[in-house]
Amino acid sequence: MIKAVFFDVGGTILDETREFADWADWLGVPRHTFSAVFGAVIARGQHWQESFRTFRPDFDLATELERRAAAGRAEAFGEEDLHADARSCLAALKGQGLLVGLAGNQPAHAEASLRALDLPVDVIGTSHGWGVAKPDPAFFDRVVRDGGGDPSAILYVGDRPDNDARPALAAGMPACLIRRGPWGHILDMPAVAERCLFRIDSLDELPPLVAAHNSAGR
């Protein structure tokens, strides 16, 4: 039985299209060029920040975030950046009586921004707030703790097989991969995908899948 569902944030709940466009503009790089390099970095299995270092070798995320804030161009997101299927999916799962949470690798400003969206969730956790980032097992230990303590009853949903599904499975949780965003379309890890409980193309698919799974387990 699934009793809790936790979601990755960037790419899963949030559409990062505008965010990456803003970064391209900040770096002074054509958006199409930045997107192409970003995709190549993912395909090579490199850390996503290598995309930035292609254009600025000394790139440091924390430093650049401070510079952007000082220049009045702070990184931010709002309702318009939510995927269209996010809010309804979260609400539908809450309606099934499940504990619903968000847990993703996000910078310092993100937790307040997520809370301001007033999403139908019980838990909001970020790598900055928790002091540990995916795919570190300690991150998923925190998900298990906040999700009720039984990993087998906590579904983790994300777009990345490497950072989301694989470490969630290693922690004893069932996992769901959503095929969206650059990682969802580029990073192919069949051995991980085959072990996932669900593989979906839209969050609209998830509530009925969870309901059917729980009904079958009764």
Q: Quick: pLDDT tens for 111-140.
A: 999 999 999 999 999 999 999 999 999 999
Question: Number of folded domains in the chain?
Answer: 2
Q: Which two tokens stand for residue 12?
A: 């899963």
Residues whose CB is less than 8 angstroms from the CB of residue 60 and which lie 6 or more positions away in sequence, other chains included? none
Residues 163, 8: Cα–Cα separation, whole Å: 10
Question: Quick one: 141 and 172 in the same domain?
Answer: yes
Question: Quick one: 124 and 59 in the same domain?
Answer: no
Question: Quick one: 149 and 209 in the same domain?
Answer: yes
Question: Quick one: 103 and 196 in the same domain?
Answer: yes
Which DSSP string do the residues of 17-73 spell out, in sequence order?
HHHHHHHHHHHT--HHHHHHHHHHHHHTT--TTHHHHHH-TT--HHHHHHHHHHTT-
Residues of the domain holding 164: 4-15+79-217
HEC letters along 166-197: HHHHHCCCCEEEECCHHHHHHCCCHHHHCCCC
Can you give the pTM of this predicted structure? Answer: 0.93
Residues of the chain above pLDDT 90, percent: 89
Question: Quick one: 194 and 168 in the same domain?
Answer: yes
Q: Using an 8 Å Cβ cutoff, are 3 and 99 in contact?
A: yes
Question: Quick one: 186 and 206 in the same domain?
Answer: yes
- Say what the pLDDT of residue 108 is: 81
Residues 200, 14: Cα–Cα separation, whole Å: 16
Question: Quick one: 199 and 124 in the same domain?
Answer: yes
CATH classification of the domain holding 154: 3.40.50.1000
Question: Quick one: 66 and 116 in the same domain?
Answer: no
Looking at 70, 92, 112, which one is the last position of a domain? 70
- Angle of helix 31-43 relative to helix 17-27, nearest 10 degrees, comes to 110
